[in-house]
Amino acid sequence: MSDEQVGTILAIVTLQMSMVGEGTPVFLARNEEEQQKVAGYLSKILDANVHDLENGSLILVKH
Amino acid sequence: MSNLIPEYLLVILAGVVAGTVTRVILLRIDYRQYPGYPHGYLGHLFLGFIASILGAVAIPAIMEPDFAAATFLALAAQQFREIRNIERRTLESLERSELVRRGLDYIEGIARTFEARNYLVMGTAFVTSLAAQLGGPAAAFAVAILAVLLSRYFMSGQVVGSICAVVPARISFKGAILMVDEIGIMNVGLKVMRDKILQEGLAVKLIPRDGNARSTLHDIGQRNAIAFTASVILGSKKDVDIPEFTPLARKNPDTGEVGLYIMPVERDMEQLIAAVKLTPVLESARSKPLKAGSSIKAAKEQVKST
């Protein structure tokens, strides 16, 4: 039941470096378009879900 | 004893045939529960055959009388419990490579069903051979038909459609949250995915008819089984690298209604509603809190009086 387990944050794609801390790989994007593109690639590479925190950061979570 | 063999042969044969036919029928009506591997079919038919022999020879054993021989029925029960284990293990190992999973509850239900079916087969064989012994071939035939119908009835169980209404629902996005009507399903971060889900996704809402149904839908295993059935019937666009397309069923915590979202290959709302309605109510999920009312009242009064 993969969708019932607690997720693990694999990576963060952000527009504002100041918003995120350490501990998880962070990718800085220059604009929203690039952010979506990078998150999309990472999602395919990591087989992970992309979730939007709606504060300028997208997180990639493996459920 | 040799002159008795033809007579008992008929008795045993009647039981074996009736039992095996029951097994074949039960194997057919539950196509959704069975993955349909030819070897699996063969295995189950053969076990059904053995079960019906065991049921059928019980009567001659008692008539003879050889009561020690009747005790092998206990051995048979042991044997059939093993079937449950085999079935469970097979499904569990297949589960790992399944994109949309059945869930452990569903597997347990299926395994238990397979075990129970063999008991039904044994019972059918037993009553048929009893009728053959007491009333001859005509009685055996009548009893066999009755027993087959009865076991079909017993094994059909409840379906989701009988405990809740299933209505079409609208998919929308509230920010990044995928909504099925007013029920939040999940957070989708990629805009391309959001657009695709809006265009190609399907959703239904399950409205429980009463408190019992609400508590059945509350069960995660039950919801998993519903999502699984829907994606088997309609197909799912999910792949390993597109986890967003996992069919999900989430409930409205206030009303107990459940929203189901799916990315189907076949975009057919009627099919989806039919699939959801046909999903069996899992034994492990079934509960009847409303029936507990009277005993709870008694307990409450006891608490008050102390």
Please report the ipTM that was assigned to this predicted complex: 0.85
Angstroms from B251 CA to nearest CA on chain A: 14
Split at pLDDT 50, 70, 90, the class of B29 is low
Q: What is the DSSP letter of B281?
A: P
Task: Determine whether the interchain pair B187/A52 forms a contact, defined as Cβ–Cβ distance below 8 Å.
Answer: yes
- Would you tell me which residues 3-62 of chain A have a C-beta closer than 8 angstroms to some C-beta of chain B? 3-4, 36, 39-40, 43-45, 47-52, 54, 58-59
Structure tokens at B182: 């007013």
CA A1/CA B248 separation, integer angstroms: 11
Domain locations in chain A as residue ranges? 2-62
pLDDT digits over B86-139, tens only?
888 888 888 888 888 888 888 888 888 888 888 889 999 999 999 998 888 889
pLDDT digits over B62-93, tens only?
887 777 777 777 877 787 888 788 888 888 88
CA B172/CA B299 separation, integer angstroms: 46
Q: Which residue in B has a C-alpha nearest to residue A49's C-alpha?
A: B243
Total Cβ atoms within 10 A of residue B213: 23
CA B108/CA B110 separation, integer angstroms: 5
pLDDT digits over B195-247, tens only?
999 999 999 999 999 999 999 999 999 999 999 999 988 989 998 889 999 99
CA B56/CA B130 separation, integer angstroms: 8
pLDDT per residue rounded down to tens, chain A (63 residues): 444 457 889 999 999 888 777 788 999 999 999 999 999 999 999 999 999 999 899 999 988
Q: What is the tally of helices (H) and strands (E) in chain B?
A: 11, 7
